[in-house]
Structure 1
Amino acid sequence: MAEALRVALAGLGTVGGGVVKLLDANRDLIARRAGRPIEVVAVSARDRTRDRGIDLSRFAWVDDSSSLATLDEVDVVVELVGGSDGPALTLARATLAAGRHLVTANKALLAHHGLELAETAERGSAALKFEAAVAGGIPVIKGLREGAAANEIGRVYGILNGTCNFILSKMEAEGRDFAEVLSEAQALGYAESDPTFDIDGIDAAHKLSILASLAFGSQPAFGAVAVHGIRHVLGADIAEAAALGHRVRLVGVAEAGPQGLFQRVHPHLVPLDHPLAHVTGSTNAVVAEGNFVGRLLFQGAGAGEGPTASAVVADLIDIARGEFGPAFAMPAGSLSAASVADSGERRGRAYLRFTVEDRVGVLAEIAAAMRDAGVSIESLIQRGVAADGRALVAIVTHEGPERSVAQALERLRGSSSIAGQPLWMPLLG
């Protein structure tokens, strides 16, 4: 058997520890599949004294993670530090500049610096692998980069954040409101103490920009993703969606067309006959639509020690076999700087929810704003009056351009009849 692939591991948190455990548990099987052993030889983390439940004495300990990039006995560096900049970026740049292979689970790093890192990897004939960066243990990166490589992808979309999906499906199942379920998710470890990246859609947007690059041959462009999270979704919205035969899910959508590349993360109403409507808990799911292969659905655990470590080690096996190509499915120089599609031109149905003062003329004011903006109303429902004297008005529109809906909402801005910010959610077509 060939010499071992020697790995340096930066970051010994949940995923880093899982990588060591997996390599230990499946050592012989992995070596047979890779054609050579895969061995961790050096590690780096912030706290050397922390008990991680694994024996670290067999590895060289390096305090400065960036020095892992130039250790003579290292073939590949696994970056599990996290963050779009700082130590993670320093290590990634140094590793690839030295001609060493890099495996990372860091979606923020790739969303912000993916093009630069891909270019550096190609110059040094090194691998840049990141299966674990999107959807945990689901092999969606390999699926798009290799399995669907012969297809023109028309659209890629999905549920990309397990925290948000846990919260929304819990609200749906138990009839509770967002703040209460978020607190429970934090207590259970599904949400961070500062959940901003998750509930405001930023994490999903990082992942979507990577999927879009792979699907459409475009440069990763996180800044071009329109991002809206779930913090303003009410239990009443979940109930209205159910009455309409839909479920609320945070969905990232990327679609290429004549107008350019459209990328958005936003809560959607998903019809019950769509597979994404039945993705519950912390599960992730990605749909890709190819012109020859048709609809592909990737579904599974989107995070956690085991699934994410599985994806990291799968990348290591590819490198051990010598199976790697351009990071984003085509040479970095071939990735296009796609223009940003105008979302106002997109057509579809929409759900609108207003919190209103319960008084004469409110519904007429809303209906007039819709009429003047050219929005056709399919249904309008007012639910009972709360203790504060306010009511909820829910509208579903007929199909039309998003620009018209935006104009209607702008006409209602500042109205004394409407309390707070109206909620708009597209219906997934």
Structure 2
Amino acid sequence: MGTRRVRRKDGEFTLFFRKVSPFSNHHPAEFDSDGAINFEKEVKRFSCTEQFYMYNKASLMEDRKLMSAVLRSDNPKTMKAMCSKGALRGWRDSEWNKHKEDVMYIGSKAKYSASRHLCYALFLSTGSQLVECSPFDPVWGIGNNLETVISDSSISLSTGQNLLGKILDRVRDELWEDEQYRNEREEVEKRLKLDDDYLLKAMKHVDLMYKERATVRSLISMGHVSRDDQSYLTSEVRQLLPEWALPPPIEKFEPIRPSPPVIIDFPRTPPRRFMTPERISSVHKRRRRSSSRLTLNRSWSRSRSRSRSRRRSERNRVKKRKREEDDSGSESPPWGISWKRRRRSRSDSRRRSRSSKESRRHSRSSEEKEERRRRKKEKRSRRSESQEERRRIRKQKKREKKEKKKEKKQRRRRRSSSSSTSS
């Protein structure tokens, strides 16, 4: 799931993450805008706020080809990859940091102004602070996972800058005060008077509705379903939301390529007033089990690290003793006293067995070592002999060549002298 409204000690928060959430930048939402940083004010159609954001990144670098490529793209992840730091030449963070928050504000306001059902979903977060629980982004989000934040209320929500959540809070407050959205505001206030927990219930069912809608979008794109029958608009959703706040039917060809949603099943406990004693005891048992598993895993990892450190220290001690024995030439005192003082463990017994095995090996292999040394000497002597023989043969061949050359020269001289005498 992508959206959850929670009550904590420090206030109420609307937590969101993933494409299925209506507050995500990757959520499909068509809107028109003329917000480009370095070019003329041309009205363009955008399919999501991520596309608008990356389009402005490309316009900052004055790259018209990249701008048109971003507009043609049908996947928010590819848009993000096209305009990453490594892909843009001459990119400077200091220059973009001056514009990025204004760009996100303009795109978000255009998105919620163009879509009535998304605007109503934004109004359902009134009285709470919007927080993007992105574990990968501590700048636009808080750097913590949505599932862990919901399961553990002690985790702080101020671990990141949460720029997107703050911008959405600002957009919501401005639209709430705008007379153009008076009907939406009055509808929320009227339903909130009838039920104090209306916003919690409505946000929960809105989250489920958008999740089911994303599943239908992916099925239509794959050809498994021919049309949108709006089965995700359940009776509970129709009771909690007015007719004009329901999303429209899905078209067959949409500007953003759909993908199957990543669904997370949160551990949900029923309210206290509806819980029986048996349910309460089962919940407590589960918590004890999970905590005991955690403690076991921690203690196991600690014991492993301790045993490793003990082995290291024992090896260092043995080496030190051997050095002292070699230097002094005297035998070492019986060092089994320290082992008696300490509690025997598996690692200690293994160390002892290793040391005893090593001593046996040393005693057995002393003769073998001498034999190996003798063989090595023989090999070296053979090699030296063979090398001397090769040198001798080379020298002999060189001498023979020289003698042959001398003989040839002598023959030539004789021939020349005999020819001169005949003439």
The two structures have a TM-score, normalised by structure 2, of: 0.23
The structure with the largest helix share of the pair is 2
TM-score of the aligned structures, taking structure 1 as reference length: 0.23
